[in-house]
Amino acid sequence: MIKIEEKSYTAAEVGEVARQVVEYISQQSGHNPLTYSASDVYWVVRDLLKYANGRMLGEFVLTAKKKGEWQIHYRDQKSGIERAKRQRQTEIDKTEEYLKQQKQIRKTRAELSKSSPTLDKLFPSGPD
């Protein structure tokens, strides 16, 4: 039985609970003929690390060494902060470029509307 109490857990405690869950799954595998592809296993590990990374000061990184071999390593908080800064700056740059494009589009539309004849000029109303 896995016990999850209403409390805050350390990363080590979460790891222990996860280990117990994985061990239980392993024990029950004899009752289930389902098999998993390498891709399935990769996504389980990736999602677990992504979840952990959202709640830790550092960052776990899954890196391909060669086909079929992966390595997990830990980047400390400083490298995680630097990575977040780079990502934030990339988003700022993308937003700035988007706003410039929108400004140019509005300017072009305004110029086109000035040079285009209005409906009144195209279809003058005649005497009724």
Amino acid, res. 14: V
pLDDT score, position 93 = 96
Distance between CA 98 and CA 115 in Å, rounded? Answer: 26
Q: Residue 103 and residue 110: Cα distance in Å, rounded?
A: 11
Give the ranges where 1-128 is alpha helix by DSSP (H): 11-28, 38-53, 77-115, 119-122
Note the pTM of the prediction, 2 decimals: 0.51
Tell me the pLDDT tens digit for each residue of 74-103.
887 777 678 778 888 999 999 999 999 999
Q: Where is pLDDT greater, at 3 or 92?
A: 92
Tell me how far apart the alpha carbons of residues 103 and 115 are, in angstroms, rounded to a whole number.
19
The 10s digit of each residue's pLDDT in 15-65 is 898 889 888 888 888 887 778 888 888 898 889 888 888 887 778 888 888
